[in-house]
Amino acid sequence: DAGVIQSPRHEVTEMGQEVTLRCKPISGHNSLFWYRQTMMRGLELLIYFNNNVPIDDSGMPEDRFSAKMPNASFSTLKIQPSEPRDSAVYFCASSPRRPGGRAAYNEQFFGPGTRLTVL
């Protein structure tokens, strides 16, 4: 299994540009999470999906951030327009749902992250 795949691994862009981060979860996993890691706030959840449906986007910092999951094998996180304070590492994670158990019991599998720098 290839694990969670994220692209690009590094992105450098200028303020005001649109940025799109991509994630392919592990096949068969039905929950997908987008996190942002910063020195100030640690690992914070931005949004998560269950069976491709957004469940909670309260962590999305502003309307400049949007996320989609058009199918079970692909998700995007878009920032438009980007600002220097958006510079961070963005992680995608997926989690399986095992029959008969609570989703809380299932570990999350993290992708390698995308390091975003907005100049």
Partner 1 sequence: ILNVEQSPQSLHVQEGDSTNFTCSFPSSNFYALHWYRWETAKSPEALFVMTLNGDEKKKGRISATLNTKEGYSYLYIKGSQPEDSATYLCADADRGSTLGRLYFGRGTQLTVWP
Q: Using CB under 8 A, list all residues that contact partner 1.
A: 31, 33, 42-45, 48, 50, 55-56, 91, 93, 95, 97, 102-113
Question: Are 6 and 93 spatial neighbours (Cβ–Cβ below 8 Å)?
Answer: no
The Cα–Cα gap between 26 and 95 comes to 8
Q: Which is nearer to partner 1, 15 or 98 (CB)?
A: 98
Q: Which is nearer to partner 1, 15 or 55 (CB)?
A: 55
Cα-trace Rg, the chain:
14
Tokens of 116: 């975003």
Return the bridge partners of 68, or none: 76
Least separation in angstroms between residue 6's CB and partner 1 is: 9
Least separation in angstroms between residue 105's CB and partner 1 is: 5
Least separation in angstroms between residue 79's CB and partner 1 is: 20
Q: Which is nearer to partner 1, 19 or 111 (CB)?
A: 111
Report which residue type is found at 42. Answer: G
Q: Which is nearer to partner 1, 42 or 70 (CB)?
A: 42
The Cα–Cα gap between 6 and 110 comes to 10
Question: Are 82 and 15 spatial neighbours (Cβ–Cβ below 8 Å)?
Answer: yes
Least separation in angstroms between residue 4's CB and partner 1 is: 8
